[in-house]
Amino acid sequence: GAKTDGRGRYRFFSTELLASAEEKRALEEDLRDALIRDQMRLVYQPIVQCHSGRITGVEALMRWDHPDKGSISPAVFIPIAEEAGLVGRLGDWALRQACEDAAKWPEHVRVAVNVSPTQFGDGTLPTTIVSALATSGLPADRLELEITEGVFLGDTAASEHMFATLKKIGVRLALDDFGTGYSSLGYLRSAPFDKIKIDQTFVREATLPGSRNSAIIAAIVALAEALGMDTTAEGIEYLDQLALIRRLGVSHVQGWVYSKALTSDELRARLDDGRWAIEPSGPSMQRSA
């Protein structure tokens, strides 16, 4: 039984503990059995369309309920999984679970799943996706893959071939964490993205006086619009950030100002309610200092 819920009240195992190589190795061992021990789960964070206030999709976020250490953040265990060669197995599980859950939601709600560079480079990804869609009955255009710039660092011909294959299957593609890495415009030219996700680190300072980030966000929005792509601003926590992001023309927003990640059932209850629209959290989310 998990000691946690989907609202983000997690007892996060901190990255400091990873200083010890021994502890890292122990975690790696535990991670090997995490799936068969039923310790992994997905939570879903709503993505809200700015002009309508409606939930148009959710992002699937992986959680690991460790029996002794509590809930461990994917920021900690995904890199370990990458190193240990476990990320493919975890990623396949996430794709299948997300499709199965999403098939129970109203049909206008998409599910976005994070795909690590290793999983992207592994030739089995299309087969897994086709199988996950067939098993769940989820239409391909309700599945979005979130991909980071890391996928462009490998074999260019192979990644272009993978993009073409994924487009043929009909899934949507989002470029995640935009603004943090190299953010080469070449990526946008060569890969058929449907959406750019503007990273939260980038948005965070945008409301500060004299910040140049507003100008840059406006330019990203103009670029995305010219290329026919949506934009999502990630990690919006405060009402002033929300107001600014809306003013800059970003099409979608994801962040605690609307909702933390929810369990599949919590999400379904929210959607079944007919409350497609959600309001920002209000005064409790006002910046206090």
177 binds ligand C2E (CB under 6 A): yes
What does the per-residue mask of binding to Mg ion show for 228-247, with x meaning CB under 5 A? Answer: ------x-------------
45 binds Mg ion (CB under 5 A): no
Q: What is the DSSP string of 3-56?
A: S--TTS---PPPGGGGGSHHHHHHHHHHHHHHTTTT-EEEEEEEEEETTT-BEE
- Of 31, 234, 248, 267, the residue at the interface with ligand C2E (CB under 6 A) is 234
94 binds ligand C2E (CB under 6 A): yes
101 binds ligand C2E (CB under 6 A): no
Which residues in 65-104 contact Mg ion (CB under 5 A)?
Answer: none
d(C-alpha 260, C-alpha 100), whole Å? 21
d(C-alpha 193, C-alpha 83), whole Å? 27
Which one of ligand C2E, Mg ion, none is in contact with 261 (Cβ closer than 5 to 8 A by kind)? ligand C2E
| 29 phi/psi in degrees, rounded to 5 | -60, -45
Collapsing DSSP to helix, strand or coil, 231 comes out as strand
- Please tell me the count of residues contacting Mg ion according to CB under 5 A: 5
Per-residue tokens: 239: 């009402």
Which one of ligand C2E, Mg ion, none is in contact with 100 (Cβ closer than 5 to 8 A by kind)? none
92 binds ligand C2E (CB under 6 A): no
Collapsing DSSP to helix, strand or coil, 112 comes out as strand
Per-residue tokens: 157: 């011909």
256 binds ligand C2E (CB under 6 A): yes
Which residues in 153-212 contact Mg ion (CB under 5 A)?
Answer: 176-177
Q: What is the DSSP letter of 277?
A: B
Residues that bind ligand C2E (CB under 6 A): 45, 61-62, 73-75, 78, 91, 94, 114, 116, 146, 176-177, 200, 234-237, 254-256, 261
